Amino acid sequence: MPEYSGSLQRVAVAEGLWLIPLLPLLAALLLGWPRARDDSAKNGRERWLAAVAPAAALALLGYFTWVLSARPDAERILVDHVWTFVRIGSLDAALSFSLDSLSAFAACGAAFVGAVVAVFAVTSNVSRFALAAMNLCVSAFLVVVLAQNAVILTLGSGLGGVSVWLLLRGERDAKRGDVVVQSFLGDAVIVVATLLTFWVLGGTWTEAGEYVPEFRPRVAGVEIVTPEGHEPPKLDREAGHVTMISPQAATAYIGGAAICEVDAAGRPGGLGPEANPCKKVARSPFVRIPIGPSRHDLRVVTSRGNDATVAERTPVVAGQETEMAPVASTFGFREVHNQLLIRDVSGARVLRVALLNKTLWGINVVALICGLLVVAGLVKSSLVPFSGWLGRLKDTPSYAVALVVTLGSAVGAFITVRWGFLFDLAPTASGALALVGAMACLLTAAAGVFRADYRTALACFGASQLGVVLVGAGVGAFAGAAYQLVAQAVGVAAILLSIDAVGRASSREGADLDELAGSGAEHPSLAKLVFVVAAGVTAAPIPGLLGLWARDGVTATAFAIDRIGFVPGWMVWGFLGLGGFLGSFLVWRVYYVIFASAPAAKKPTKKKKRKARPLDQRLLWVLRVLAVVLVVGGIVGVQGRYWGSSHPALIDTWLASAFAGAGAPPSLLSSGVMLGQLFGQFSLSLAGWAAARSRYGRERSKSWRSDEERYGQVQRYSLELGVYGAPAGLASGVGTLAQVVARIDRSLLGRRFDDSRIEPPGQASIGSDEPAHEDSAESSSGKEESD
Amino acid sequence: MRFCIACFVAFMTLLPGIANAQTSIRFADAGAHGIELVPAGGAFEATVSIENVSSKPVRLIGLDLLRGTESLPVLPVGVTTRFVDGRSSRRLPPGGKKDVLVRWEPSPDANMREWYGHLVATTETDDIAVVGVRAEARESTLHRHVLSGLVLLPLLGALLLFVLGRARVAKPANLRRVALGVSGLQLGLGGWLYSNFNPAVSVLDGSGGFQFLERMSLLPGLGIELSLGVDGVSIVLVLLTAFLSFVAILLGARASSRQHVYWALLLAASSALATAFLAVDLALFTIAWAAAIGALASGVGIFGGAQRRRAVVKLASISALAIGSAAFVFWYLSGNAGETLLLDGSTAQRTFSVVELTRIDWLARGLTIGGVNAVAVMYSLVVLAAVCALPLAPVHTWLSDVLAEAPPGFAVLLAGGATHVGGYLLIRVGYAVLPAGTLWGAATVGALGLASIVWASLAALVENDLRRLVGQASVVQCGFVALSLSSSTGAGVQGAVAQMLSHGLVVAALVGALGFIHSRVETTRLDELGGLAKDMPRLAVLFGVVVLASVGLPGSSGFVGQWMSVASAMPMNPGLAIGAAASLVLLGAFHWRAFSRLFLGNIPETWTQSRHLEPHGGRFPELRDSELSALIPLVVAIILVGLHPFAVLRLVASSALDHAERVHPPSPTQLVKTHPMLKAPATQPFIPVDEVREAVCRERRRARHPGLG
């Protein structure tokens, strides 16, 4: 019987994963550097880099996903170690990427959306700098989803924040600074959550408040058990097999001999100098190196030769795989997840128990970490109350809004899914996440309902769909959450780009719904395409497309669970339903105003007469591709339970390996009840469509325009007072405090107070206004006098 | 007065250490600095004679090299001594001699390649003879003198420039080229040191973990030696100093008839800073620190802005407080360290050697000052010196004042180099010499760090002068250094070094960029500037990268430093760490405000007709190639360190762990091979771990802090 065992995921090493985020990053760097001369011909060629890079990343992803899919379910994870990032004692992080079923799915979705949006943007002749920002955004999101550990995920999250700011043309509008500051807030929360997770795994805060640091990482030999129902890998029955993934770039020894990756004779495995000289010494990550079955003293050397980590008398069993797994502080997602699965000889999951018993300031640390992740999810996903800046997207180009909402804001939601297995340990935090996600879905959708421009409205819709992802992570429907993440990316990008194409074809570049009203009559084929896209996104009035099944993965689980921590499942389901109703109403409102209403009656201006022009066929093809994905993408989410089949949805099967041992238990409700809840959700979406159709369709009331303005004002005031008031008040308080501090600062060492060097209180808020240029002449003269 | 000082220095220099007087034995044939082992096959050996100089026969009862303790060895393994004749007789007749062979056989994987030691012979009448022994396994001259090269090269360059300038034999442009050449050579030496430094060396390899040791007598009467050495902590700071010196010269200087003084002072400051970081002797460290501040203050005083006098007074007074506090601590420690052997084997009543002072358990000595435990007093003074030098709240405002007036080159070296002496002091003296004090004062240092971060961030939110704002940003960065060091862990030391490195690069780039703006329009006030991105897009991009690094954006050097600071502080002081992480929002806010005001929006129309921009058609001229050449290396370094920090941090790891182990000696529960998880019965796998750890903590606290409470 092994001392430690567990159904850990078996890993393969795949070099080249790092190229996937690097390609768009390089394109961003090449396109972003300011040019002294404008060479239009060369610019035209180089601009296609913006589309080629994400497409190439998608192709690479396709290859690696194919490699991944060829492996058995329980072995679907590829790891690529690039270099060590930080290493001292047990604080060990590497620049490493991994591709499991979750990251493959999310990365493919992101690269696809990035490439499609880039093609759209290139054909629309946007600036090089904007193309660079787009590629940076794609690269950042790919780093986030491919990150092997939490440190690299933070790196991607930070880059994502900057790319969002650049996409919003932050360099032109000083008011967009709140996006940057909000991004820093999100990153700070992620950093704290990550570090708490790291230290709580290995370090100990004693009751006296003292911590005993560890000078080296800890590892233990864990025999990998093949889960029931899975076929074990074909291993040499005569030999034991040693695997080490983390700590990375470490060397393993048995006694005094290094483990060989390739021995002197060119054969794989074996031991070092005495028995079998190494041609190539194994440095982690390495997998399944055959050694003699016995009890071995395995020594792992990371930094200093005299700081070896030793796992004494580790049993290496013939025909089995033993992984040298970290059993203490680690940043790796897989490694943390594995620690929760490791069992001792009695069958107890000892590390999981130990983790659950840790407290900080009397609070369960896992609950604290999950609470922080909830906040990070809200902040980075721009959900209420952190969605204030979405209201200023009117002047931002649609392609930029599409990327900001589908990739930039999706970072927060993805983080909650990635850490989903931790939420599994903290029911209270899970309940909070589900409730907060559902309410955020509802409120963020409500914030976009009566918006006067389609970009803000659809951005709010996109953000509200990320709330569904948060709910998925909270209720344990991780596969549904991941599905929803990709579905909303494709759907929101499709609808935003479609309407933008309508505007271009009608020579209406603005985002005002009023201005775009009636454009559909000029482009009937495009109107049909947008109808399909809207139906795909909202699941109404055509059921069975991507939108319905993506949401169903989450809503069905919420419905089937009695309680999620302290939150009743039906409550979450209800909020999601209302959110679905509002979301559907929002999207269809945009559709009907643009395609079914008459043009606004305005006096003709003296400006150039508007002239409808044929739609660029390349743009049309981009939109067709998105529409097709929205239609056929639903297939992978169709649940067999609705007609009594035991086969789960394709997406559930694919993503199951990423969440082994975590997630909600299978539903005990009958298929009839589940079908009822599905019908309920669909009915609510349908009701949203019906409401929008009756209000904005061909038979709308005559006073609808004035009603819109009135509702819009009520909505704006209620949001500013009720939702965004707290952050604004906080910012104002910080500004006043800063004034006080600056004055004390001046007087600390006896310096005469100089008012001209401190801003008056009204200007202390962040990014609030332009520089006070009016005073410049006066200030200059004042300076000259003082000099 | 000057004559008196000169006489005193000459006297102290000539005053020998206390020789081995009135002993019956002595080592004959030893040079002034003892004996040096020479290559012999694969080993190194030397022969020295021990002579009976008394009229009676003596019997030797001991003959060996001082080897130190197990945790702090003096020598590497493989050093042996024996009588050359091979006889076991240890009797020496009057006037008789006996040859002793000292042999060192370094193993192929030996880390330490050079060492200094002492061969001691003892008679049965307790007479002692000592001779210094030195071994150097590296043969090239560069190996032997790289550290003195790093120190002397800029110093000689400074003298050369001063002479050339006074004699008016070189044009100003040529003077700059000479300075650049000298600094480039220093940087090249730094690169050589980087590639030849062995990151695996630890204190267990002997010589306190210092490499490339160079020692010579300076003031033997006071126990002061010119002792240079480099370990993982100091190498990063020395490389940073060399790099910043090069950049400071690239930044250029305003046209002046005294350019030779400008360059000479810059190089002199660089030399003094390098000496401070390389000094193994604390007296040498103090002298070098004072010289560096003197050179920098002179530069600010001569070439600074309109308010330079006020700035210099502040710099000088705060630095005097810092250096005075540190000097008092060193003097007290050296006086209570007891007799020490000098390089040549003579003894001194004092020692300023870090290696020697590290061997003493100061807490166990029970020293008090005014009834208060001396360790607590000494550590408090070290913290005071560090707070002044770094600087931290509440004595931080001098940095903003100085940066607002200092010319760019001096501002770079001052903010990016000299301030780090404070952090270095906390590591070199706090961790190594006063570990109990470090543990005792950790929370205070952390609180000061957090206070500095929050306070300076808030003050910067309403700061109108960009150069002063850079000063506030520097204080924030230094706050992270203090926070990191409050953790008392290896990660904390490494994080502090990473943060100092990042701070140096970032502040140099910010100061340089603002210098370029100031050189165009003679102001850096936010209410007068704006919209520069339109005319200077390249500066905007580079400045943006640097600002993001200062905020700690992942992928930049700032992230590594700040993240490691918070990471290391988290387990020891979670409240402080979470507070620091939350402050990142303030940090982002004030940086964003400065960047957006400076670069976004529209350029004020008043500038288009101003006398500054008229020659350029009313536009801000974009960065010239020479200016780009100064900024781009800094930005590249910021990104490289951000993406691959381990390339630098691997140098620090071993040394950082050594320092941390001084504060937290490894306990049985920290050794994996005895970790309960791998040994304890499966029925009680984890709960006892905490209990064992707590018991260990309790015992350790009782054992290490009887006097500190």
Q: Is A736's Cβ below 8 Å from some Cβ in B?
A: no
Neighbours of A605 (CB within 10 A): 8
Give me the interface pTM, i.e. the ipTM. Answer: 0.83
**Strand extents, DSSP E, B156-269:** 211-219, 224-230
Nearest chain A CA: its distance from B601 CA (Å): 6
- What confidence category does residue B681 fall into, taking pLDDT thresholds of 50, 70 and 90? very low
Nearest chain A CA: its distance from B163 CA (Å): 33
Tens digit of each residue's pLDDT (9 = 90 or more) over B294-321: 999 999 999 988 888 989 999 999 999 9
Q: Which of A29-48 are b and which e, b meaning 16 or more Cβ less than 10 Å from the residue's Cβ? A: ebbbeeeeeeeeeeeeebbb
Interface test with B, best of A295, A355, A773 (most B CBs within 10 A): A773
Cis peptide before A232 (omega within 30 of 0): no
CB neighbour class for B419 (10 Å; exposed up to 12, middle 13-18, buried from 19): buried
Chain A from 177 to 206: CB within 8 A of any B CB = 177, 180-181, 183-185, 187-189, 191-192, 195-196, 198-199, 203-206
Q: Is A127's Cβ below 8 Å from some Cβ in B?
A: no
**Strand extents, DSSP E, A582-651:** none
Q: How many whole angstroms separate alpha carbon A779 and alpha carbon B521?
A: 14
Q: Which residues, 6 or more positions from B277, have their beta carbon under 8 angstroms from its beta carbon?
A: B234, B237, B238, B241, B421, B424
Whether A770 sits inside 8 A of B530 (CB atoms) is yes
Nearest chain A CA: its distance from B179 CA (Å): 32
Query: Nearest-CA residue of chain B relative to A175?
Result: B596
Token pair in block for residue A325: 């797994």
Query: Nearest-CA residue of chain B relative to A352?
Result: B686
Whether A304 sits inside 8 A of B654 (CB atoms) is yes
Q: Which of A654-663 are b and which e, b meaning 16 or more Cβ less than 10 Å from the residue's Cβ? A: bbbbbbbbbb
- In SS3 terms, B64-76 reads as EECCECCCCECCC
- Inform me whether the pLDDT recorded for B406 exceeds 50: yes
Contacts of A218 in chain B (CB under 8 A): 672, 675, 677
Q: How many whole angstroms separate alpha carbon B573 and alpha carbon B483?
A: 9
Nearest chain B CA: its distance from A422 CA (Å): 20
B405 or B109, higher pLDDT: B405
Q: Is A157's Cβ below 8 Å from some Cβ in B?
A: yes
Distances (CA, A) of B688 to A221, A353, A363, A494, B273: 21, 13, 21, 57, 50
Nearest chain B CA: its distance from A218 CA (Å): 6
Whether B599 sits inside 8 A of A171 (CB atoms) is yes
Contacts of B70 in chain A (CB under 8 A): none
- Inform me whether the pLDDT recorded for B701 exceeds 50: no
Q: How many whole angstroms separate alpha carbon B477 and alpha carbon B499?
A: 7
Q: Which residues, 6 or more positions from A612, have their beta carbon under 8 angstroms from its beta carbon?
A: A505, A506, A507, A522, A523
Contact A234, A10 (CB under 8 A): no
Q: Is A303's Cβ below 8 Å from some Cβ in B?
A: yes
Nearest chain A CA: its distance from B252 CA (Å): 24
Facing residue for A220 by CB, picked from B462, B578, B677: B677
* pLDDT given at position B676: 31
Smallest Cα–Cα separation from B18: which of B514, B318, B278, B349? B349
Facing residue for A776 by CB, picked from B306, B527, B697: B527
**Strand extents, DSSP E, B325-385:** 340-341, 347-348, 368-369, 372-373
CA angle B382–B387–B388, rounded 5-degree value: 100
Nearest chain A CA: its distance from B311 CA (Å): 11
Q: Is A738's Cβ below 8 Å from some Cβ in B?
A: yes
Distances (CA, A) of B297 to B301, B406, B520: 6, 9, 25
Contacts of B574 in chain A (CB under 8 A): 196, 205, 360-361
Range A710-714 contact pairs with CB under 8 angstroms and sequence separation of 24 or more = A711/A449, A711/A450, A712/A450, A712/A451, A712/A452
* pLDDT given at position B686: 30
Q: Is A347's Cβ below 8 Å from some Cβ in B?
A: no
Contacts of A741 in chain B (CB under 8 A): 455, 458-459
- What confidence category does residue B53 fall into, taking pLDDT thresholds of 50, 70 and 90? confident
Contacts of A142 in chain B (CB under 8 A): none
Chain A from 743 to 762: CB within 8 A of any B CB = 745-746, 748-749, 751, 756-759
Distances (CA, A) of A785 to A27, A596, A780, A781, B309: 51, 67, 9, 6, 18
Tens digit of each residue's pLDDT (9 = 90 or more) over B168-179: 777 878 888 999
- Label the pairing between strands B128-136 and B35-36: parallel
- How does DSSP assign B34-52, residue by residue? BEE-EEETTEEEEEEEEEE
- How does DSSP assign B371-399, residue by residue? TEEHHHHHHHHHHHHHHHHTT-TTS-HHH
- What confidence category does residue B228 fall into, taking pLDDT thresholds of 50, 70 and 90? very high
A216 DSSP assignment:
S
Q: Is A95's Cβ below 8 Å from some Cβ in B?
A: yes
* pLDDT given at position A766: 37
Q: How many whole angstroms separate alpha carbon B284 and alpha carbon B266?
A: 20
Segments making up each domain of chain B, as ranges:
25-136, 666-704
Interface test with A, best of B205, B646, B687, B701 (most A CBs within 10 A): B646
Q: Is A169's Cβ below 8 Å from some Cβ in B?
A: no
Chain A from 419 to 448: CB within 8 A of any B CB = none
Interface test with A, best of B485, B600, B684 (most A CBs within 10 A): B600
CB neighbour class for B361 (10 Å; exposed up to 12, middle 13-18, buried from 19): exposed
Whether B563 sits inside 8 A of A344 (CB atoms) is no
Whether A360 sits inside 8 A of B527 (CB atoms) is no
Average pLDDT, chain B: 84
Nearest chain A CA: its distance from B257 CA (Å): 22
- What confidence category does residue B683 fall into, taking pLDDT thresholds of 50, 70 and 90? very low
Nearest chain B CA: its distance from A595 CA (Å): 37
Contacts of A173 in chain B (CB under 8 A): 600
- What confidence category does residue B674 fall into, taking pLDDT thresholds of 50, 70 and 90? very low
* pLDDT given at position B679: 31
Q: The tokens 């022969």 sit on which residue?
A: B47
Q: Which residues, 6 or more positions from B188, have their beta carbon under 8 angstroms from its beta carbon?
A: none
Q: How many whole angstroms separate alpha carbon B97 and alpha carbon B49?
A: 6
Whole-structure pTM value: 0.87
Q: How many whole angstroms separate alpha carbon B645 and alpha carbon A87?
A: 10
- What confidence category does residue B386 fall into, taking pLDDT thresholds of 50, 70 and 90? very high
Whether A204 sits inside 8 A of B398 (CB atoms) is no
Q: Which residues, 6 or more positions from A585, have their beta carbon under 8 angstroms from its beta carbon?
A: A449, A688, A689, A691, A692
Tens digit of each residue's pLDDT (9 = 90 or more) over B248-290: 999 887 767 788 899 999 999 999 999 999 999 999 999 999 9
CATH of domain B25-136: 2.60.40.10
Contacts of B470 in chain A (CB under 8 A): none
Whether B701 sits inside 8 A of A766 (CB atoms) is no
B602 DSSP assignment:
-
Whether A162 sits inside 8 A of B548 (CB atoms) is yes
Q: Which residues of chain A have pLDDT under 50?
A: 750-787
Helix (H, G, I), strand (E, B) or coil at B463: strand
Contacts of A368 in chain B (CB under 8 A): none
Q: Is A70's Cβ below 8 Å from some Cβ in B?
A: no
Q: How many whole angstroms separate alpha carbon A455 and alpha carbon A404?
A: 11
Whether A206 sits inside 8 A of B693 (CB atoms) is yes
- Inform me whether the pLDDT recorded for B367 exceeds 60: yes
Facing residue for B570 by CB, picked from A195, A767, A772: A195
- Inform me whether the pLDDT recorded for B604 exceeds 90: no
- Inform me whether the pLDDT recorded for B43 exceeds 60: yes
Facing residue for B593 by CB, picked from A3, A155, A766: A766
* pLDDT given at position A719: 65
Distance from CA of residue A584 to its chain's centroid?
Answer: 23
Q: How many whole angstroms separate alpha carbon A273 and alpha carbon A616?
A: 68
Contacts of A783 in chain B (CB under 8 A): 523, 525
- Inform me whether the pLDDT recorded for B149 exceeds 80: yes
Q: How many whole angstroms separate alpha carbon A693 and alpha carbon A540?
A: 11
Contact B516, B630 (CB under 8 A): no
Helix (H, G, I), strand (E, B) or coil at B53: coil
* pLDDT given at position A514: 76
Query: Nearest-CA residue of chain B relative to A365?
Result: B574
Chain A and chain B share a number of CB contacts under 8 A equal to 295
Contact B344, B33 (CB under 8 A): yes
Contact A243, A287 (CB under 8 A): yes
Give the residue-averaged pLDDT of B510-539: 88
Q: How many whole angstroms separate alpha carbon A241 and alpha carbon A316?
A: 7
Distances (CA, A) of B301 to B296, B304, B390, B396, B402: 8, 6, 21, 20, 10
Chain A from 17 to 46: CB within 8 A of any B CB = 32-34
Token pair in block for residue A443: 């409120």
